[in-house]
A = this chain, B = another copy of it.
Amino acid sequence: MSGPDYGRSFAALRAACPDEWSAYTDHAFVRGLGDGTLPQASFLHYLVQDYVFLVHFARAWSLGVVKAETMAEMKTCARTVDALVNHEMALHVKTCAKAGIEETALFSAKEEVANLAYTRYVIDAGLQGDFLDLMVALAPCCFGYGEIGLRLVGAACNDTPYADWIATYADVDYQQVMVSFGDMLDAAVIRRLGADFKATPRWAQLQGRFTKATELEVGFWDMGLLGA
């Protein structure tokens, strides 16, 4: 099964961990979003944790600006931080508000271990490594949600209560951001590793980061299901 076209780097990273990628993007939680069978309690539990996730994910993308080496890299990271902090998180706030959960409660929600492990792993990838280490650790969440959104919007039951969630990630705006991120990632990879990047010693190490972050995504969905 091929994925959406978010560039060469993503295609290579995704193709090299098919089991983990499938466990993530075709998780029971995802299927439940598509066919509407996901319990509302699970979804809200996920949404609260995802708000906390986005706080730290925005911190990780900001670390991307700190580590960038070109203006294009800086601009992409800066725009993403702005989009996360001033837009995507607002959607969570709105949806949670409808369910009676206020933003201050979101910000101070107790972070589950699967959540904490994931975001801090990504941030530490940035502290320990370089710009690429951070980008490949950020990639599975960004690209995976884009892929899930695209798949579900075509296949989902018309009456799933999670149509808004699906629309957010299937949306042409989100998809365009992913294409831009993919372009920037390709340029960043080629700039540092050369056009034949898959043949370099570093690629295996970067693949390890991508695969690890994908596994942590699986753990995040697991947490969503169990937490209800």
Residues of B near A201 (CB, < 8 A) are: 190-194
Q: Are B200 and A113 in contact (CB under 8 A)?
A: no
Q: Which of A55-89 contact B (CB under 8 A)?
A: 55, 58-59, 62-71, 74-75, 77-79, 81-82, 85-86
Residues of B near A65 (CB, < 8 A) are: 58-59, 62, 81, 85
Residue A114 is within 8 A (CB to CB) of chain B in the complex: yes
Q: Chain B: which residue is nearest A59 at the CB level?
A: B66
Minimum Cβ distance to chain B for residue A115 (Å): 9
Contact for A82 among B59, B78, B193, B219, CB less than 8 A: B78
Minimum Cβ distance to chain B for residue A116 (Å): 5
Q: Are B67 and A66 in contact (CB under 8 A)?
A: no
Minimum Cβ distance to chain B for residue A140 (Å): 15
Residue A186 is within 8 A (CB to CB) of chain B in the complex: no
Minimum Cβ distance to chain B for residue A173 (Å): 17
A side interface size, CB within 8 A: 49
Residues of B near A107 (CB, < 8 A) are: 70-71
Minimum Cβ distance to chain B for residue A31 (Å): 23
Residue A128 is within 8 A (CB to CB) of chain B in the complex: yes
Residue A202 is within 8 A (CB to CB) of chain B in the complex: yes
Residue A12 is within 8 A (CB to CB) of chain B in the complex: no
Residue A120 is within 8 A (CB to CB) of chain B in the complex: yes
Q: Hey, which bits of chain A sit against chain B, CB under 8 A?
A: 55, 58-59, 62-71, 74-75, 77-79, 81-82, 85-86, 103, 107, 113-114, 116-117, 120-121, 123-124, 127-131, 133, 190-194, 200-202, 205, 216, 219
A-B contacts, 28 of them at CB < 8 A, read: A55-B74, A58-B74, A58-B78, A59-B128, A62-B62, A62-B64, A62-B66, A62-B78, A62-B81, A66-B66, A67-B127, A69-B205, A71-B107, A75-B85, A75-B86, A81-B81, A81-B82, A113-B117, A113-B216, A116-B117, A116-B121, A120-B120, A120-B121, A127-B127, A128-B130, A129-B131, A192-B202, A193-B200
